[in-house]
Structure 1
């Protein structure tokens, strides 16, 4: 099963359009404010379906929930491919958001169930770090393949069409997963009651707010590395058009970014067991580091210092990948086996809600001022909010 988990992580990250999503939307003559609104539609859709999808997965079948998720992704890719206006783009984001809701937390829940069955639950951190490193390797290959697709088919919409194939393979892989029948004996009413009891304790945990805040920060800002690359990496080479070379630069940066992330995700398993008392301190420090890296990135970008903004953006990705397995390890120990998917969905629920509110703000500030100033303002706002929330929870 572990090899299948790794294969899933590898295939689900073969979204060839991912390094170019914002560039694709900009080429549709859409303002940053509308781009932020489109991301907000996706986030709000995920937020709306997040908790119900987790409960459905826990009660009926995590496997079927994932199959439905992959199907939604493939439909959204096709809608993106044929999209001609804002209505189609909004619909694509909506369907993508449903796929995100049914995916988030579900596969982690399957991994935890498997480790629980083989009495290896205390090693969740090691297993999850290993599968996550394969996910990042998939992302690196994804960036390389996207470059070749762009060289042969300059139309960025083709990236969405080509992305359907690896997701179809992922669908076939999930069909080979065994069914976990334990949670089917739990009634919906009891599952919902247990979920809210877990959620009550969940909010009392000092690390959860820190985790949700930094996760929301990452989700709302990670796509903006694309314009950051265009603004900070010089265009060189005469064999392509200027725009074509910029797109190649994005693919190259994404390749190295995900290669570094794969290494950092694998290295995070060397962080040994962390006590419940210390986890909130570690998560808080990771959060501050993430905010600080983007603040420095935006400052270097504002003063047009070549390459430095990209390096700090990559550093944010690395910190995120070091932090996430630590949280998953802690989480796997302090939640019950039949509630893990529901509570993981609840954690994502909080994060996505924050992201959906912030995404339009990023675009709005980018339109009024610039991308560097927008990143500077948002990272400062996050850091101040994070500080006051952390102080109140000490």
Structure 2
């Protein structure tokens, strides 16, 4: 099997997660409010924040393939624990394992892809290749949400989607075992806690002192933080439309919700896959990755503002259309942002630097999620959308001023 196929299979299986489209609805079914959900999201991202960079250093020192296996096995354990969770307090346990999965994965697999491109003298194709492999992640999400919707319509059991998510998780572990040893890059010598901490400090120092990487970190924290928080509001918005669906189709409210979630998320992920494959073309039209990032920040702020206005006017379908556009933006953002990190980091600390990028996202989510939840509880979802629009507008303004006055 060719390596680009294996890279794509990894993304497909990782996102072949039946639970993701219904996670918020599952939490709401347990009696949680938006503030409690915000606390859970923040807790998960704080854990990722704590482990993110040390896990990247672990990957650089102990081997990236080894780190990825730790990640994928942790996901499987998390799914099993989610399937039996029955209270707000217990939900923190599977979130620990899910956070381990995220922390040991983010940055590491990207570094493996870039390693392979360097070995094969194809580094100039990094935006194109990463966009292609990322598109398969979206295909995995698209088809998993359709299957998950059918499961919910047939069985009306949120827990079942967690049990079934274990299967692609185990296949993903097998796929990672098949990666060649040349991609298990690690430094010579034994791995020690002091070595991991020293490598971590070195990577953080570079991210904070290198002007261009520092700007990328702030931009990623704002854009990805806002996107991750906003997409969780898609499910309750769809649930709000379920009663309208039941008026003209012979389905109960929960089954109509599952159908709506399945259709909308399938469209979102298929559009995202199409977008990821064309990220390199967008960069060319924008005349550079830096200009492309500024365009995405500005458009993102405008879309959040439009979403807020639509919700204030009671036009939920406008908000849903905006969410589709935001998914398109995010799938342009990731290849553009990741390619820039690779341009400013060395092979020996690449996983660590990319983990700093992912940690920035975790920090953004940990700060924004509870505030966004409070805004939604107090003013409705439109209040949260307004707050996110302001965050991206400020980030865009700062980035422009930073470029003018470096």
TM-score range with shorter-chain normalisation?
over 0.9
Decide which of 257, 262, 265 is 2:268's aligned counterpart: 257
Decide which of 146, 149, 165 is 1:144's aligned counterpart: 146
- Map 1:113-132 → 2, pairs under 5 A: 113-132=115-134
Normalising by structure 1, we get a TM-score of 0.93
Residue 192 of structure 2 is aligned to residue 184 of structure 1: no
**Which shows bigger deviation, 319-328 or 366-375?**
366-375
Superposition RMSD in Å: 2.1
Relative to structure 1, is the Cα distance of residues 31 and 364 closer, same or farther in structure 2, using a 3 angstrom cutoff? same
Relative to structure 1, is the Cα distance of residues 326 and 380 closer, same or farther in structure 2, using a 3 angstrom cutoff? closer
Q: Distance in 2 between matches of 1:57 and 1:136?
A: 25
Relative to structure 1, is the Cα distance of residues 274 and 50 closer, same or farther in structure 2, using a 3 angstrom cutoff? farther
Does the 8 A contact of 1:12 with 1:166 survive in 2?
yes
Normalising by structure 2, we get a TM-score of 0.91
Q: CA deviation at 1:384?
A: 4.6
- Map 1:1-394 → 2, pairs under 5 A: 1-179=3-181, 180=183, 182-185=185-188, 188=195, 191-192=199-200, 194-205=202-213, 206-231=215-240, 234-236=244-246, 237-271=248-282, 278-376=288-386, 378-390=387-399, 392-394=401-403
Q: CA deviation at 1:238?
A: 3.7
Q: CA deviation at 1:181?
A: 5.1
* Unmatched tracts of structure 1, length 5 or more: none
Does the 8 A contact of 1:207 with 1:283 survive in 2?
no
Does the 8 A contact of 2:53 with 2:200 survive in 1?
no
Q: Count residues in correspondence.
A: 392
Q: CA deviation at 1:350?
A: 1.6
Q: CA deviation at 1:239?
A: 2.5
* Unmatched tracts of structure 2, length 5 or more: none
Q: Distance in 2 between matches of 1:373 and 1:32?
A: 13
Does the 8 A contact of 1:207 with 1:281 survive in 2?
no
Q: Distance in 1 between matches of 2:252 and 2:80?
A: 27
Q: Deviations over 1:171-222 (max 9, x none)?
A: 0110101223543227727634542453234444444422331111112222
Does the 8 A contact of 2:204 with 2:356 survive in 1?
no
Q: Distance in 1 between matches of 2:378 and 2:315?
A: 22
Q: Deviations over 1:281-340 (max 9, x none)?
A: 321220121122122112212212252211111100101101221222222222111211
Relative to structure 1, is the Cα distance of residues 42 and 284 closer, same or farther in structure 2, using a 3 angstrom cutoff? same
In the TM superposition, structure 1's runs of 4+ consecutive aligned residues that sit over 6 Å from their partners are none
Does the 8 A contact of 1:232 with 1:305 survive in 2?
no
Q: Deviations over 1:31-84 (max 9, x none)?
A: 100000000011101101000000000111111111111111111111111011
**Which shows bigger deviation, 185-194 or 348-357?**
185-194
**Which shows bigger deviation, 224-233 or 210-219?**
224-233
